Chain A
Amino acid sequence: MTAKQTIQLTVNGRAYEETVEVRMTLADFLRDELNLTGTHLGCEHGICGACTILFDGEAVRSCLLLAVQADGANLMTVEGLAQGEGLHPLQRAFHENHALQCGFCTPGFLMTAVAFLQETPSPTEAQLREAISGNICRCTGYAPIVQAILQARRGG
């Protein structure tokens, strides 16, 4: 059960080479080995979406992947969104629309939205609601999140 493997990957633009247990999930690897704790775990069975990150540009659930599957991959987590002190337009729109309360689901929503807007730059509200329906928020009732993403789509 404790077989190990060495992986090389890029996270938020930085290259890493790490030796990990093959059974370690990607989420645990990011959180515990790289100390990127912005990626959260809400269910660990792929429903809530809090652990969503970008994997070669695609939104994935890091609780359902193993770290060794990310060998050679280019990852982005919520820590990679803001450039310097300035917020990413999505982060700013979330703030302006009160699209977060406890904030635990927020990193997952942001990463889902980043990937979705890259794929669908001008979504309808219905498309957007469908796209984020794999992420659970217990606080906001979703309307402010939808507003925030639509605002960011329009360039803030």
Chain B
Amino acid sequence: MDQTYIGAPIRRREDFRLLTGKATFTDDIKLPHMLHAAILRSPHAHARITSIDAARAQALPGTIAVFTFQDIAVWAKPIPLRLYPLPGLEHFLQYPLAQDRVRYVGEPVAVVVAESRYLAEDALDAMDVTYDPLPAVTDVRQSLQQQVIIHEKPATNLAARYTLALGDIEEAFRNAAYSRKEVFNVHRHTGNPLETRGLVASYDAGRGEFTVWGETKVPYFNRAVLASFLDVPESKIHFIETDVGGGFGIRGEFYPEDFLIPFAAMNLGRPVKWIEDRLEHLKAANHSREVLCEVEIAAQRDGTLRGMRAHVYGDMGAYIRTHGGLVPSSTAALLTGPYHIPAYQCTVSCVMTNKMGLGTYRAPGRYESCFIRERLLDMVAADLLIDPVELRLRNFIQPSEMPYTVGKTRPDGPPTVFDSGNYPSAFQRALDQIDYDALKPLQGRRQNGKYHGIGIGCFVKNTGQGPFEGARVVVSGAGEIAVYLGITSLGQGHETTMAQICADALGVPMETFTIFHGSTDMMPFGVGTFASRGTVMAGNAVHLACQKLREKALAIASRYLEVDATQLVFRRGQVYRQGAEDHALLGLDELVRLAGPASPYNLEEPGLEATAYFKSNQLTYTYGTHVAHVAVDPETGKVEVLRYVVVEDIGRCINPLIVHGQTVGAAVQGIGATILEELVYDDNGQLLSGTFMDYTLPTSTDAPSIDSIILEEAPSPLNPLGVKGAGEGGIVATGAALANAVSHALASLSIQVTELPLSPDRIRSWIRASSPQSL
């Protein structure tokens, strides 16, 4: 290797446009004659629509059009599932506009298009819709009583259910000396990227082509869905990615507006912009995390785990979103975590309620399962009088057992196999970092009025989801190499990391590369940016494309120089004769010329370029440990995070600056989400925390300092670069570590956390319930 960009903390090339106000986000796109849309949303959680009268709205100056279900009826189809299409879920899909019934607050009922956003909102106010309210259902237990049916067909609120089973669960419980049963609740919250969703769509009536700005995350899937709705070939839809203000799972799935805005542009023959406002975002963009889990664990007296059985209920909201059953299914898939548990049985139920649909938020299902399992392990440790550290050490899957087959923990797809790892080592690293042994005497102690607690959360997390991603590398001269990607960026830094990978692969300076992404016209195939897959899938595609390019360059050089290719080497962007590497025979400029379409030396595709796809149907598993030291004020219920350590092994780190940035940012997101955030609905299905005044995100004064440690002890054997996906490891065990820390802190008050968030009001209510004298 001539140079080592990989592994170096290189500052991002994306920064300059973002720092100077020159970036282009979706709302910065302005087209001639552009119109503006606003969405009329249901104020009711459950109601029949008895009439929609748009006459007053249409009479207002500047109103161009109002669309209701009747206008889209011949076009509209239910929004399809992208992931986890569990049998049954297909009956609970959403049409882009409500037909005769609304099922959650925020459901789109009509689209108003006007000359400006101000006029569009005036028209919204003039829409006359009458509703006949119906009783609402807001939690899964109530929903399963089936007294209020949310979808008349198939007349049940249980959308899907399946059970997975590994090992002999009956035997495990029958022969175990100890077992414990608990119920855990994970609260509804979501990612809240700072840029809300938005789209600009234009339609070229002459050519029958659509251009849409603002589609990110999974543009190829969304393009296929839109093509099927609009009945046009995919090739006539061009998605252009803009700069993106954060993703975190919520952004970029196919929402109703992803059809409505291009539809309006087609219908009106003018470009249409829609920018979601924050209040819409909180009630009508994917929510996440909400699961209830009944779980029972069996162990020997020495703490050796024997079996676990669980029932995960996903609160799916009113419609099944594109993610299908992902959130509860992923909770079930990794509930046993990095431990050897010989028998595991889990039932997953997807239950409908009159709330916003459930989608993904960073480490979906994994944050949830970590909280459930790690909390339960600490309870087991307390019952069996074993230190929580010791209990984990006794049960970790060992490095010698890698790759470790857990078995079939997902309803479809291959069995779960942990590809590589040294779980005890990462665990020990985290304990050393926080100096666990020195802190241990503080466990549960009250100092200066506050109770101290130290909590641990261990995780293993799937990343690098397939099935493929591609890259095309095009050399146009020694100073300019273009790289085209099928993935999008949501703010991570691909333009920097992909250039690092290319630069090492071709041995030329990083500055030579321009990374292009963000148009479905650049690559014929692509999947997208989610599930920590960007570096694993696209990074390896880039690497393979560069390898292919080197081979092509050597083949061309061999023909031109009439030297056997095995006698030649490609280094530092030049071709040398083996053993004579002080004298370059050909450089990139000459190779570009020799690779041209008319050149007799190039027998392959014209041009010094190569396209490669990296394919994988196996997942790479990162792992690690979080440790939190908290102080809980019993008077206020406030949880102060004094120290927080995250250790994650990601196999191989391309850019530590970016990885630490992701880890620290994710940890603060998770700490905020665990302590401050909750999407609260009342019994009527009204969202009570629908503004940033009520839905409180962490700020600079809430954010503790995070110790982020990235390990590279266990490269993945599943890809040439050995990488695993970074970015979610910082959030995955925040709920677990903090809930354990608070439980240890308040152990003397007999408080054991079984539900989140750890908000001051909730902690105060636990303290009041446990010690009435402290009221």
B610 at the interface (CB under 8 A from A): no
- Residue on A nearest B19 in the bound complex, by CB: A91
A98 and B12: CB pair below 8 A?
Answer: yes
B195 and A42: CB pair below 8 A?
Answer: yes
Interface string of B679-704 (1 = CB under 8 A from A): 00000000000011100010111010
A68 at the interface (CB under 8 A from B): no
B664 at the interface (CB under 8 A from A): yes
Q: Among A3-11, A45-53, A54-62, which stretch is in contact with chain B?
A: A45-53
Which chain A residues numbered 28 to 47 have a C-beta less than 8 Å away from chain B?
31-32, 35-45, 47
B20 and A143: CB pair below 8 A?
Answer: no
B278 at the interface (CB under 8 A from A): yes
A100 and B18: CB pair below 8 A?
Answer: yes
Chain A contacts for B705, CB-based, 8 A: 143
Assembled-state Cα–Cα distance A45/B282 (Å): 13
A139 at the interface (CB under 8 A from B): yes
B245 at the interface (CB under 8 A from A): yes
Please tell me which one of the listed residues A79, A102, A132 contacts residue B245 in the complex, with CB atoms under 8 A apart: A102
Known interface pairs A136-B194, A143-B703, A146-B700. Does A100 touch B11 (Cβ–Cβ under 8 Å)?
A: no
Assembled-state Cα–Cα distance A142/B15 (Å): 16
Number of chain B residues close to chain A: CB under 8 A: 58
B699 and A140: CB pair below 8 A?
Answer: no
Chain A contacts for B11, CB-based, 8 A: 95-96, 98
A106 and B665: CB pair below 8 A?
Answer: no
A24 at the interface (CB under 8 A from B): yes
Assembled-state Cα–Cα distance A138/B23 (Å): 18
Interface string of B233-269 (1 = CB under 8 A from A): 0000000000111101000000000000000000000
Chain A contacts for B490, CB-based, 8 A: 102
Chain B contacts for A31, CB-based, 8 A: 27-28
B244 and A141: CB pair below 8 A?
Answer: no
A143 and B246: CB pair below 8 A?
Answer: no
B744 to chain A, nearest CB (A): 24
Please tell me which one of the listed residues B15, B278, B660, B665 contacts residue A139 in the complex, with CB atoms under 8 A apart: B665
B639 at the interface (CB under 8 A from A): no
B703 and A102: CB pair below 8 A?
Answer: no
B676 to chain A, nearest CB (A): 12
Assembled-state Cα–Cα distance A104/B664 (Å): 18
Which chain A residues numbered 69 to 91 have a C-beta less than 8 Å away from chain B?
77-79, 81-82, 87, 91
Please tell me which one of the listed residues B24, B28, B122, B493 contacts residue A1 in the complex, with CB atoms under 8 A apart: B122
A95 and B16: CB pair below 8 A?
Answer: yes
Assembled-state Cα–Cα distance A143/B708 (Å): 12
A103 and B245: CB pair below 8 A?
Answer: yes
- Residue on B nearest A137 in the bound complex, by CB: B194
Chain A contacts for B20, CB-based, 8 A: 38, 78-79, 81-82, 87, 91
- Give the interface size class of chain A: 35 or more
A140 and B18: CB pair below 8 A?
Answer: no
- Residue on A nearest B62 in the bound complex, by CB: A2
A103 and B692: CB pair below 8 A?
Answer: no
Chain B contacts for A24, CB-based, 8 A: 118
B409 at the interface (CB under 8 A from A): no
B214 to chain A, nearest CB (A): 13
Which chain A residues numbered 132 to 154 have a C-beta less than 8 Å away from chain B?
132-146
A21 at the interface (CB under 8 A from B): yes
Of the candidates A32, A77, A137, the one having the most CB atoms from chain B within 10 angstroms of its own CB is: A137
A114 at the interface (CB under 8 A from B): no
A139 and B699: CB pair below 8 A?
Answer: no
Chain A contacts for B700, CB-based, 8 A: 128-130, 132-133, 135, 142, 145-146
Of the candidates B122, B660, B661, the one having the most CB atoms from chain A within 10 angstroms of its own CB is: B661
Chain B contacts for A94, CB-based, 8 A: 15, 19
- Residue on B nearest A78 in the bound complex, by CB: B21
Please tell me which one of the listed residues B25, B657, B691 contacts residue A40 in the complex, with CB atoms under 8 A apart: B25
B543 to chain A, nearest CB (A): 24
Assembled-state Cα–Cα distance A44/B668 (Å): 23
Please tell me which one of the listed residues A41, A45, A100, A141 contacts residue B692 in the complex, with CB atoms under 8 A apart: A45
Assembled-state Cα–Cα distance A102/B705 (Å): 21
B731 to chain A, nearest CB (A): 11
Chain B contacts for A32, CB-based, 8 A: 30
A110 and B668: CB pair below 8 A?
Answer: no
Chain B contacts for A130, CB-based, 8 A: 700-701
Chain A contacts for B692, CB-based, 8 A: 43, 45, 47-48, 136
A144 and B278: CB pair below 8 A?
Answer: no
Chain A contacts for B491, CB-based, 8 A: 101-104, 139
- Residue on B nearest A128 in the bound complex, by CB: B700
B118 and A39: CB pair below 8 A?
Answer: no
A73 to chain B, nearest CB (A): 19
- Residue on B nearest A50 in the bound complex, by CB: B194
B493 and A138: CB pair below 8 A?
Answer: no
B693 and A104: CB pair below 8 A?
Answer: no
Assembled-state Cα–Cα distance A79/B241 (Å): 23
Known interface pairs A96-B11, A132-B700. Does A48 touch B194 (Cβ–Cβ under 8 Å)?
A: yes
Of the candidates A2, A102, A107, the one having the most CB atoms from chain B within 10 angstroms of its own CB is: A102
A67 at the interface (CB under 8 A from B): no
B551 at the interface (CB under 8 A from A): no
Chain A contacts for B194, CB-based, 8 A: 40, 42, 48, 50, 102, 104-105, 136-138
- Residue on B nearest A145 in the bound complex, by CB: B700
A78 to chain B, nearest CB (A): 4
Chain A contacts for B674, CB-based, 8 A: none
B30 to chain A, nearest CB (A): 8
A79 and B21: CB pair below 8 A?
Answer: yes
Please tell me which one of the listed residues A36, A41, A128, A139 contacts residue B21 in the complex, with CB atoms under 8 A apart: A36
B707 to chain A, nearest CB (A): 11
Known interface pairs A87-B20, A95-B19, A144-B661. Does A102 touch B193 (Cβ–Cβ under 8 Å)?
A: yes
B225 to chain A, nearest CB (A): 25
Please tell me which one of the listed residues A2, A40, A101, A135 contacts residue B665 in the complex, with CB atoms under 8 A apart: A101
- Residue on A nearest B192 in the bound complex, by CB: A138
B19 and A103: CB pair below 8 A?
Answer: yes
Assembled-state Cα–Cα distance A82/B20 (Å): 7
B27 and A141: CB pair below 8 A?
Answer: no
B27 and A101: CB pair below 8 A?
Answer: no
Assembled-state Cα–Cα distance A77/B22 (Å): 12
Of the candidates A31, A45, A141, the one having the most CB atoms from chain B within 10 angstroms of its own CB is: A141
Chain A contacts for B18, CB-based, 8 A: 100, 102-103, 106
A67 to chain B, nearest CB (A): 12
Chain A contacts for B493, CB-based, 8 A: 101
Chain A contacts for B196, CB-based, 8 A: 42
Chain B contacts for A101, CB-based, 8 A: 246, 491-493, 661-662, 665
Chain B contacts for A135, CB-based, 8 A: 699-700
A143 and B492: CB pair below 8 A?
Answer: no
Of the candidates A21, A82, A101, the one having the most CB atoms from chain B within 10 angstroms of its own CB is: A101
Interface string of B105-127 (1 = CB under 8 A from A): 00000000000001000100000
Known interface pairs A81-B20, A140-B661. Does A104 touch B278 (Cβ–Cβ under 8 Å)?
A: no
B661 and A98: CB pair below 8 A?
Answer: yes
| Given A2-B61, A102-B18, A133-B701, 18 other A-B residues pairs in contact with their CB atoms under 8 A | A1-B122, A31-B28, A37-B25, A43-B692, A78-B19, A98-B661, A100-B15, A101-B492, A101-B661, A102-B246, A103-B19, A137-B194, A140-B665, A141-B667, A141-B669, A142-B700, A143-B706, A145-B700
User: What are 26 A-B contacts defined by CB distance under 8 Å?
Assistant: A1-B122, A37-B25, A37-B28, A38-B21, A40-B27, A40-B245, A42-B196, A42-B245, A45-B692, A48-B692, A79-B22, A82-B20, A95-B19, A100-B15, A102-B245, A102-B490, A104-B193, A106-B19, A133-B699, A133-B700, A138-B194, A138-B697, A139-B491, A139-B661, A141-B666, A145-B700
Please list the 8 inter-chain residue pairs (A to B) with the smallest Cβ-Cβ separation, ordered nearest first: A38-B21, A102-B491, A103-B18, A104-B245, A141-B668, A47-B692, A37-B28, A78-B21
